């Protein structure tokens, strides 16, 4: 059910979560001050309580009251990438953030979205927690239809069209004085170099250790269809009569049906259509699809490949 921004603010202040467009993906928003509503967000998504939420604010100054130490490194990166698809995990002062939001950690995640509708809403409601508006484990929602598929057509959603970026924010954390990426995202690691003077290291998730980003523990972004990854060279036989997810500038002659993610040299287009395409496989009842994984290991492609790999995991 489509609602206006004013209605969304009313719902949120009453304690009813609503879905909200951001430039990355749609978020499932609840007020940071409404604990029952935050619980509803976890329930609606089927999200484990040890997976913390991102707090969305309108300005960096709104973060000051949650945290004891914002150094010049913070202000530098904040000024360069906010508002935008970046999330910073910061140490918090005791009892400033509800435990269920930060899952009992000594840190919390903060983001200032760029989408004007999300900005407007936060100005009306104050800080919002917003996980991606999808059932836990499924591809994130990048349109109203996706929200309705996961939460039903009566679920309140602000229509902001198709999400511009199509991939979640890049999450960074400060470790021994340097920012590290704990979730790759819509901002590629190279884009930080001009501001930080170094390329932030991408922290690899190690199941044996307690993760820097708890969400990385879980299966993610996955359609019901099983995804097999392939590289097109000499693969005609493999994809013969199969459903293929690929690129419009490549030929997959033997395929039975092809879903196009965009042109292979247009990572922005691939990013913005990835989740919608994975969701269409389920919509069309496809049980197994072969996804062309022959993409470079640079820039935004790295995030895209990480999402595809996660989406293709069979277990976990
Ligand atoms: O683009 C985005 O970030 C979207 C839009 C709606 O803003 N939101 C989003 O939220 O992707 P969610 O809940 O789907 O993913 C948040 C990730 C999870 O992997 C969670 O574990 C991590 O952020 N996170 C949250 N708080 C954290 C903390 N204190 N320390 C480490 N990771 C944290
Ligand atoms: Mg998510």
Would you state the pLDDT for residue 220?
80
Which candidate, 63, 57, 51, 62, places its Cα nearest to that of 22? 57
**Mind spelling out the 3-state secondary structure of 202-270?**
ECCCCCCCCCCCHHHHCCCCCCCCEEEEECCCCCCCCCCCCEEEECCCCCCCCCCEEEECCCCCCHHHH
Query: Which residue's CA is the nearest one to ligand 1's atom 3?
Result: 169
Residue 210 pLDDT > 90, yes or no? no
Per DSSP, 119 falls in state H
Determine the Cα–Cα distance for residues 93 and 97; give it in Å rounded to an integer: 8
Angle between helices 116-125 and 5-14 (to 10 degrees): 40
pLDDT average, residue stretch 142-162: 98
Residues with CB under 6 A from ligand 1: 22, 24-25, 27, 51-54, 85, 87, 89, 102, 105, 107-109, 111, 113, 130-132, 168-169, 171, 183, 212-215
Would you state the pLDDT for residue 207?
61
In the chain, % of residues over pLDDT 90: 87
Q: Give the count of beta carbons closer than 10 Å to the beta carbon of residue 136.
A: 18
Pairing relation of β-strands 128-129 and 201-202? unpaired
Per the DSSP assignment, residues forming a β-bridge with 108 are: 90
User: What kind and span of H or E run contains 116?
Assistant: helix 116-125
Which candidate, 65, 86, 60, places its Cα nearest to that of 75? 60
Q: Return mean pLDDT, the chain.
A: 95
Place 214 in a pLDDT band, splitting at 50, 70 and 90: confident
Would you state the pLDDT for residue 206?
66
Q: State pLDDT tens for residues 230-245.
A: 998 877 888 999 999 9
Distance 102 CA to ligand 2 centre (A): 15
Place 218 in a pLDDT band, splitting at 50, 70 and 90: confident
Would you state the pLDDT for residue 219?
73
- Give the nearest ligand 1 atom to 105 CA: 29
Please give the sequence-ordered ranges of beta strands (E in DSSP) within 38-127, or none if there are none.
Answer: 54-56, 86-91, 107-111
Would you state the pLDDT for residue 289?
97
Polymer length in residues for the chain: 316
Cis peptide before 232 (omega within 30 of 0): no
Asked whether 279 and 148 are in contact (CB, 8 A), the reply is no
- Give the nearest ligand 1 atom to 87 CA: 3
Q: State pLDDT tens for residues 87-138.
A: 999 999 989 999 999 999 999 999 999 999 999 999 999 999 999 999 999 9
Place 211 in a pLDDT band, splitting at 50, 70 and 90: confident
Q: State pLDDT tens for residues 256-311.
A: 999 999 999 999 999 999 999 999 999 999 999 999 999 999 999 999 999 999 99
Determine the Cα–Cα distance for residues 110 and 101; give it in Å rounded to an integer: 11
Determine the Cα–Cα distance for residues 100 and 200; give it in Å rounded to an integer: 29
Q: In which order are the strands placed within the sheet that holds 288-292?
A: 226-230, 288-292, 243-246, 257-260
Query: Which residue's CA is the nearest one to ligand 1's atom 12?
Result: 131
Would you state the pLDDT for residue 208?
62
- Among 26, 50, 52, 166, the mutation site with the greatest number of ligand 1 atoms within 8 A of its Cβ is 52
């Amino acid at each position: 059910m489509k609602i206006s921004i004013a209605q969304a603010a009313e719902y949120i202040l009453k304690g009813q979560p609503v879905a909200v467009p951001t430039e990355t993906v749609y978020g499932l928003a609840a007020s940071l001050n409404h604990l029952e509503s935050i619980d509803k967000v976890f329930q609606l998504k089927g999200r484990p309580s040890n997976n913390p939420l991102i707090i969305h604010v309108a300005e960096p100054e709104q973060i000051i009251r949650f945290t004891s130490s914002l150094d010049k490194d913070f202000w530098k990166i904040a000024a360069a990438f906010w508002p935008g698809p970046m999330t910073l995990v910061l140490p918090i002062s005791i009892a400033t953030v509800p435990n269920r939001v930060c899952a009992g950690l000594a840190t919390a995640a903060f983001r200032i979205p760029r989408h004007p509708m999300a900005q407007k809403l936060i100005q009306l409601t104050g800080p919002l927690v917003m996980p991606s508006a999808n059932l836990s484990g499924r591809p994130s929602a990048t349109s109203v239809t996706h929200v309705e598929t996961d939460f039903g057509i009566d679920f309140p959603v602000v229509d902001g069209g198709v999400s511009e970026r199509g991939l979640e924010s890049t999450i960074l954390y400060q470790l021994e004085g340097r920012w590290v990426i704990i979730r790759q995202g819509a901002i590629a690691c190279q884009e930080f170099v001009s501001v930080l003077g170094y390329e932030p290291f991408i922290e690899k998730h190690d199941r044996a250790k307690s993760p820097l980003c708890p969400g990385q523990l879980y299966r993610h972004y996955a359609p019901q269809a099983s995804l097999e990854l392939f590289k097109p060279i000499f693969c005609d036989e493999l994809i013969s009569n199969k459903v293929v997810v690929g690129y419009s500038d490549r030929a997959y002659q033997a395929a039975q049906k092809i879903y196009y993610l965009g042109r292979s040299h247009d990572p922005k287009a691939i990013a913005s259509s990835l989740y919608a395409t994975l969701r269409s496989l389920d919509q069309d009842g496809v049980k197994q699809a072969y996804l062309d994984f022959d993409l470079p290991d640079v820039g935004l492609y790295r995030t895209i490949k990480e999402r595809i790999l996660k989406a293709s995991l069979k277990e976990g």
